[in-house]
Structure 1
Amino acid sequence: MNSTYQADAFGPIELRSDGEHLVGTAPAGGPCQRPVAEQILTGDFQGNVFLGELTLCQTGDTCTPSRSFPVMLVYNVEERALGGVVKLEDSCDSPALPKNRMLVLRATEQGAALTPTLTPASAQAPEQRQAQAPVPPPSGGAAQIAAQRRLEPLDVAATLKLGQSMLASQNAIGASQQFQLVLSQEKEKNNAWALTGMGVSHYLRKQQPEALKYLEQARSVGPGPARAEAWFWMACVKRAAQETRVAQEALRRAVTEGWSPPEGNALVERELQQFAKEGTVYEAQLKQARGRKRVQGRDPQGAGSASP
Structure 2
Amino acid sequence: MAPVSSITGLAVAFLLLVPGLAVAAPLASGLFRADPYGQFELVAEGEHVSGVQTQSGGTCSQVGKGPVLEGTFQDRVLVGWLKVCQTGNGCAPEQAYPILAFYNEQDQTLVAHVRLRSGCESPVLKDKRFILQAIPPERGALGGAGATLAAELAGKRGSPKFEQARAEREKGERLYLNKQYKEAAEAFRRSVESEPSWPAYLGLGSSQFKQGQMPAALKSLERALQLQPKNPDVLYMLGCVHAQMGNKKRALGLLRQTVDLGYALHTVIEGDPDLLSQLGGDREFQELVKRSSERAASSRTTSGPGTPNP
State the TM-score bracket (shorter-chain normalisation). 0.3 to 0.5
How high is the TM-score relative to the length of structure 2?
Answer: 0.37
How high is the TM-score relative to the length of structure 1?
Answer: 0.37
Q: Which has the higher helix share?
A: 2
Higher relative contact order (CA 8 A, sep 6+): 2
